[in-house]
């Protein structure tokens, strides 16, 4: 992967998930740690690829931006429901119709000690990493809230989390959208992620003769054709790529 991207950077576009891919998973959503050198490495790769690098995440656009300040990258947030293109033009998801349901969920979660509710604006996630015994009951309750939310939202399972997100959004669609415009257009995508939500962008990368890379253990069938064992290894690869980018003309 390193040799392919740095050997001919004008042929490739890089798409990176954040949690569990760039950053180690943490007990709570707000306790993740951004290594201080990582934003700079991403900025170097972004420049070397002529701007054809984007973050594709379940986090909101605003939250993801705070992680990598002062750098600002093309970004698909909330699995693509929020979107900022390479020109800096942003589309933010509508949240008004979702507020009442999120309030009900927050109140009910008080009965499940250790369950954390993350308000993402147009999406809401129920994390049970600190309360794994609630997995089944939480799944049942989130299915209930998905039914209340209606067809505009869908329930997305993940690593120790159930998330209600806009149904129209997927990471695969976000990657396709990036690939329709410069500087991503006519490039081969490299998609790196760790979770079920990343499978859609793996499939798109494969469709465009790119590279699909799953991070961590693969305990179910995956579209990914390559593997990196951990976020730490992903960061080491990106660090090496950034160093090579500095040394190349």
- Residues marked as catalytic: 17
The residue among 97, 125, 248, 112 whose CA lies nearest residue 195 is 125
Return the structure tokens found at 12: 């490739």
Strand partners, 109: none
DSSP at 79 = G
127 near 151, Cβ under 8 Å? Answer: no
Structural tokens at position 31: 């306790």
* Phi, psi of 23, deg, nearest 5: -120, 145
CA distance 128 to 220: 21
Burial of 117 (C-beta count, 10 Å sphere; 0-12/13-18/19+)? middle
Cα–Cα nearest to 121, from 161, 156, 84, 166:
166
130: tokens are 């600190």
Residue 13: how many CB atoms within 10 A of its CB? 28
């Amino acid at each position: 992967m390193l040799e392919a991207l740095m050997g001919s950077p004008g042929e490739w576009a890089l798409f990176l998930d954040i949690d569990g891919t760039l950053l180690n998973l943490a007990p709570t959503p707000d306790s993740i740690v951004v290594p201080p050198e990582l934003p700079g490495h991403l900025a170097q790769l972004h420049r070397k690829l002529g701007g054809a690098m984007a973050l594709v995440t379940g986090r909101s656009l605003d939250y993801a931006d705070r992680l990598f300040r002062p750098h600002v990258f093309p970004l698909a947030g909330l699995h693509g429901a929020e979107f900022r293109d390479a020109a800096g033009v942003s589309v933010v998801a509508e949240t008004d119709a979702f507020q009442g349901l999120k309030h009900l969920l927050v109140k009910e979660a008080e009965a499940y000690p250790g369950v954390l509710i993350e308000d993402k604006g147009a999406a809401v996630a129920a994390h049970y990493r600190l309360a794994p015994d609630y997995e089944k009951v939480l799944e049942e309750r989130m299915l209930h809230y998905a039914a209340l939310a209606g067809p505009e939202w869908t329930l997305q399972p993940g690593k120790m989390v159930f998330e209600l997100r806009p149904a129209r959004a997927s990471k695969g669609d976000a990657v396709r959208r990036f690939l329709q415009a410069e500087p991503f257009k006519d490039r081969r995508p490299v998609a790196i992620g760790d979770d079920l939500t990343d499978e859609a962008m793996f499939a798109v990368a494969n469709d465009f003769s790119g590279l699909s890379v799953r991070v961590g253990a693969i305990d179910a069938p995956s579209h990914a054709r390559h593997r990196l064992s951990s976020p730490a290894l992903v960061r080491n690869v990106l660090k090496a790529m950034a160093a090579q980018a500095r040394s190349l003309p």
